């Protein structure tokens, strides 16, 4: 389950990296109604169009121009009960989700719902279906679910995702190290300048004592 959540979350975040008005989150609590703290869900992955990127402790809809997540993904785990999943579907239906995708990795089965008028309707033929909002295509092979970006490139798999995340982290650490070194060099430069200025000041004070007029040209 975790692998699938990571893959979908990372690839969608990458897909919309250049659009500041698309927020992608994984396992983040969504509160649709103010002052109703018990009304909440934490979709495995959700995508919200029309709100800025940025860290949030939770998604409080009334603080986000009342925009509900338009696309939601759930990855079924052995611990999920049919009753629980039914409650999630009713929640997403009631609070305005436009597209809902549920994947069961154990059974390799994908179910999708698309909002038509007021309700979420089950998608009859999910194999080959293209998400209206995301532009990604779903393909079920005999072994697994394949997801394709709008440019027809497959989603990066879990191992590649981990490698890219590590590479990004390493680059960030290297940049941080370079910034620290640059700051230390700047600090040293300042100190050396201050020492030189102090020495010049001291010398200026000593010259008259030695009978030398610093203003004279000799």
**pLDDT tens, residue by residue, 181-204:** 888 888 888 888 988 888 888 878
How many alpha carbons lie under 13 Å from residue 124 in its C-beta half-sphere?
A: 0
Shared domain check, 49 and 126: yes
Last residue of a domain, one of 155, 176, 203: 155
11's CB contacts (< 8 A; 6+ apart) are: 147, 149, 155, 156, 161
Query: Of residues 187 and 103, which shows the higher confidence score?
Result: 103
Q: Which residue has the higher pLDDT, 165 or 32?
A: 32
Please tell me the pTM assigned to this model. 0.74
Confidence check: pLDDT of 148 > 70: yes
Which pLDDT does position 202 carry in this prediction? 83
What pLDDT, on a 0 to 100 scale, did the predictor assign at position 117?
A: 83
From 155, 176, 197, give the residue that closes a domain: 155
Domain that holds residue 120: 2-155
Same domain, 151 and 165: no
Give yes or no for a contact between 150 and 131, defined as CB atoms under 8 angstroms apart. no
Radius of gyration of the chain (CA): 29
- The position carrying tokens 């939770």 is 58
Per-residue model confidence (pLDDT) at position 157? 77
Q: What is the predicted pLDDT for the residue at 169?
A: 64
Same domain, yes or no, for 42 and 122?
Answer: yes
Confidence of residue 138 (pLDDT cuts 50, 70, 90): very high
Q: CA nearest 19: which of 133, 146, 155, 112?
A: 133
Kindly report the backbone phi and psi dihedral angles of residue 19, in degrees, each rounded to the nearest multiple of 5, phi listed first.
-105, 105
How does residue 206 score in pLDDT terms, banded at 50, 70 and 90?
confident
What mean pLDDT is predicted for residues 29-57?
97
Among the listed ranges 42-56, 66-80, 124-138, 165-179, which one has the minimum average pLDDT value?
A: 165-179
Q: What angle do CA 17, 70, 149 make, to 5 degrees?
A: 45
Same domain (yes/no): 25, 113 = yes
Task: Looking at the structure, tell me whether residues 20 and 117 fall in a common domain.
Answer: yes
Does residue 196 share a domain with residue 164?
Answer: yes
CATH number at residue 96: 3.90.1570.10
Same-domain pairing of 103 and 189: no
pLDDT value, residue 165: 59
**Claim to verify: residue 144 and residue 183 sit in the same structural domain:** no
Say how many residues make up the chain. Answer: 218
End-of-domain residue from the set 155, 189, 205: 155
Closest among 163, 167, 137, 174 to 152, alpha carbons compared? 137
Q: For residue 40, give the nearest of 23, 27, 21 by alpha carbon.
A: 27
Query: In the prediction, which pLDDT does 216 show?
Result: 63
217/118 same-domain check? no
Average pLDDT over residues 163-176: 67
Q: Are 165 and 146 found together in one domain? A: no
CB atoms near residue 191 (< 10 Å):
10
Same domain? 121 vs 28: yes
Same structural domain for residues 140 and 189?
A: no
Q: For the chain, what is the domain count?
A: 2
Is the distance from CB of 24 to CB of 13 less than 8 angstroms? yes
């Amino acid at each position: 389950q975790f692998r699938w959540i990571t893959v979908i979350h990372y690839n969608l975040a990458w897909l919309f990296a250049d659009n500041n008005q698309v927020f992608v989150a994984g396992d983040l609590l969504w509160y649709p109604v103010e002052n109703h703290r018990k009304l909440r869900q934490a979709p495995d992955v959700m995508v919200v169009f029309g709100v800025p990127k940025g860290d949030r402790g939770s998604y409080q809809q009334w603080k986000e121009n009342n925009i509900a997540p338009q696309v939601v993904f759930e990855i079924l785990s052995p611990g999920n009960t049919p009753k629980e999943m039914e409650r999630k579907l009713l929640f997403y239906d009631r609070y305005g989700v436009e597209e809902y995708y549920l994947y069961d990795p154990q059974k390799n089965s994908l179910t999708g719902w698309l909002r038509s008028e007021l309700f979420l309707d089950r998608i009859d033929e999910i194999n080959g279906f293209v998400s209206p909002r995301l532009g990604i295509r779903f393909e079920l092979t005999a072994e697994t679910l394949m997801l394709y970006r709008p440019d027809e490139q497959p989603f990066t798999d879990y191992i590649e995702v981990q490698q890219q995340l590590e590479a990004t982290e390493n680059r960030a650490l290297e940049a941080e190290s370079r910034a620290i070194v640059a700051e230390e060099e700047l600090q040293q430069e300042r100190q050396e300048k201050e020492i030189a200025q102090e020495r010049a000041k001291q010398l200026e004070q000593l010259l008259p004592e030695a009978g030398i007029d610093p203003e004279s040209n000799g």
